[in-house]
Structures are given as structure tokens and as C-alpha cells.
Structure 1
């Protein structure tokens, strides 16, 4: 992975983009500190797809999907159904 100072990344963005397509991820640093990574779109799609669970995965989870509070049923009686 090649390191690019932010000034070089701004000035030579097209070159950085071509390097990303040819070599893979490119790291951008700001004042010597890692700030961002430019990755090829195929890798982004792969990572994005892996990070999201499918609907099937969500429905088959053992853990709760939210804090659903169901109130206790009252003791009142229901009305009788009348014929129309």
C-alpha cells in the first residue's frame, strides 16, 4: 500500500486513482497521521456486501431485534357478538 501526503493526493489525484486501480488500496496521510484510504470499487462492494446481513440472517438470529415492550393484557371481558 502506497502512502500519499494529503497535498500530493490533492495535486495528483488522477495518478493516485490510477495507482489504486493498478496496485490496490492507497493510504492518505495528513501531517503524518493516517487519514483515509482509497480502495478499488470492487473491493468496496465486496466489503460492503459482507458487512450487511441478509434478511434471512436477520430473521434466523437468536437475539432480539429490538426492544418491543408488550403490555400486560387487562382483566376486562370482551363484549358478546350480536347478530346483524
Structure 2
């Protein structure tokens, strides 16, 4: 899992999405605090699938 500063992630959104698809979840931090995660649709569906 790679961590991106928010401003850098905004500037490189296409790369963040590509990496989420290829490498897995990408963490976004704001002011040094992990705030959000970008995940691929495939990974998201696994997370929300009924067990």
C-alpha cells in the first residue's frame, strides 16, 4: 500500500488510480493523517460482497 499526500494525489490522480488497479489500495493523507483510500472496483466489490 502506497501513501500519497493529498496535493500530490490530486496532481497525479490518473497514476493513483492506475496503481490502485495494478498494486492495490492507495492511501491518501492530509496534513500527515491517513484520511482516505483509493481502491479498484474489483477490490471494493470483494469488500462489500455478502459473506
**Structure 2 match to 1:46:** 46
TM (norm. structure 2) is 0.91
List alignment gaps of at least 5 residues for structure 1.
Answer: 52-84
Structure 1 runs (4+) deviating above 4 angstroms are none
Q: Cα RMSD over matched residues?
A: 1.2
* Higher share in strand: 2
Post-superposition CA distance 1:22-61 (Å, at most 9, x none)? 100000000000000011111111111137xxxxxxxxxx
List alignment gaps of at least 5 residues for structure 2.
Answer: none
Which structure has the higher relative contact order (CA within 8 Å, separation 6+)? 2
Q: Which has the larger radius of gyration?
A: 1
TM (norm. structure 1) is 0.57
